[in-house]
Amino acid sequence: MFLKSRHASAGVVPRSPNLPPWSGSHYVGIDENGMGPRLGPLIVTSVLARARPDSDGAKLATSKPRGVLAKRIGDSKKLVAFDDSTLGEAWARAIVARAAKARAEREPSAGASPYVGPLTPADLLAAVALDSDATLRSPCPSHHVDLCWGSEGEAFTADEKAVAACAKDLDRLEARGLDVLGVRVAIVCTRKLNDAVDAGLSRFDVDLHTMERLALAAREEAGDHIYAHCGKVGGFGFYGERFGPLAGRLYTVLCEGRARSEYQIAGIGRLAFLRDADDSHLIVGLASLVGKWARDHLMRRIVRWHRSHVPDAPEASGYHDPVSSRFIAATALVRKELRVDPRCFERTSIGKKDAATAKSAGR
């Protein structure tokens, strides 16, 4: 092992899968949703948990869900779809309610009313968002700010039974030594993604830097070192030299490769990037599910705004598919008439830049 800064010259990197033991108690699962679509935001989500010493907590956090847990935790691509992301919503509501209850118990106030949970999807999104509402809206042109943030007519789709099932799963995890403390969602809108392209960044850079922000936020919330497990992007193997918010901190390269890249970071803890982490690590699967709900919910807002002007526009997921192509074509005229900024609607194509980054980072 060796210490180096982001700007240090490369040295001999240890590639042994035998990692030194982790003695901390706080684990973070981080995953992205919406890296490759044409429309809608990139979502990066983190779940913070604490493993009780002398329990199965640490193993649970970093292993594939088994038994009844496997029915509701795992790769969001396998468990939910664009037209039915109720499971992700149920998990978000259950985790937020649990975190709020824990806060109320730690900081009781006289006459405080019992916590009943977010009353609307907008309230839920505000409760989990990493950034404030004002920060999220700041890039929006004033004449169509409701393109992404209009919440009129929204309602929850998960029933109380589904939320209760997730809450019971959280109780099961706690009984076995893993206490899920909270969830955070970072929203990178289309405008910000396009601005990043202009600044010479790839989607890999944006995703990585957003994961770093979430890791830093989790470190602050935990008040202790964290062990963050993040979903890998494509075949990238070398992350340290692409750090953004963590740039300049000393770090130790523990291993780097296509399946796993891991770093010990001064003052933070550990940051691991793992292939198929959402399927193999329970805590990352939780983040993936909540992120899928947030991504789909925000995409539905975009579709709803356009359908208020073009009622027969199709329900589009925003991905590279025929339905999304028809949606883009069907709404072109109204966007022109209403002066919708193109940079707020469709992502700039950066396929060549990302391909070059992948080739370099996976060398």
Task: Quick: pLDDT tens for 40-62.
Answer: 999 999 999 999 999 999 999 99
Mean pLDDT lowest among 3-17, 66-80, 241-255, 341-355: 3-17
| DSSP summary character for residue 84 | B
pLDDT category of residue 14 using cuts at 50, 70 and 90: very low
pTM over 0.75: yes
Q: How far is CA 351 from CA 36, 207, 273, 362, in A?
A: 9, 15, 22, 16
- Structure confidence at residue 10 (pLDDT): 33
Distance of alpha carbon 354 from alpha carbon 24, whole angstroms? 35
Segment 315-338, tens digit of pLDDT: 999 999 999 999 999 999 999 999
Check residue 64 and give left, alpha or beta (phi > 0: left; psi -120 to 50: alpha). beta
As a whole number of angstroms, the longest Cα–Cα distance in the chain is: 63
End-to-end CA distance of the chain: 20
Name the CATH topology of 21-301: Nucleotidyltransferase; domain 5 (3.30.420)
189's CB contacts (< 8 A; 6+ apart) are 41, 136, 139, 148, 344
CA distance 281 to 284: 5
In angstroms, the CA 268 to CA 214 distance is 12
Question: Which residues lie across from 178 on neighbouring strands?
Answer: 51
**Burial environment of residue 337 by CB neighbours within 10 A (0 to 12, 13 to 18, 19 or more):** exposed
Is residue 15 within 8 A of residue 256, CB to CB? The reply is yes
Q: Per the structure block, which two tokens stand in for 141?
A: 């042109």
Give the C-alpha separation, 37 to 147, whole Å: 17
In the chain, what percentage of residues exceed pLDDT 70?
Answer: 85
Q: For 17-31, what is the mean pLDDT?
A: 91
Which pLDDT score, from 0 to 100, does residue 15 have?
Answer: 41
pLDDT-derived band of residue 31, with 50, 70 and 90 as boundaries? Answer: very high
Distance CA 278, CA 280 (A): 6
DSSP 245: T
The beta-strand segments (E) located in the chain are: 3-4, 26-33, 42-51, 178-188, 226-231, 251-255, 260-265, 269-274
- 303: nearest Cα among 279, 337, 281, 331: 331
Distance CA 193, CA 199 (A): 10
Confidence of residue 233 (pLDDT cuts 50, 70, 90): confident
* DSSP H helices in 4-118: 57-61, 76-79, 86-106
* Exposure letters 272-298 (e unless 16+ CB within 10 A, then b): bbbbebbbbbbbbbbbbbbbbbbbbbb
At residue 275, does pLDDT exceed 80?
yes
Rounded Cα gap, residues 319 and 336, in angstroms = 22
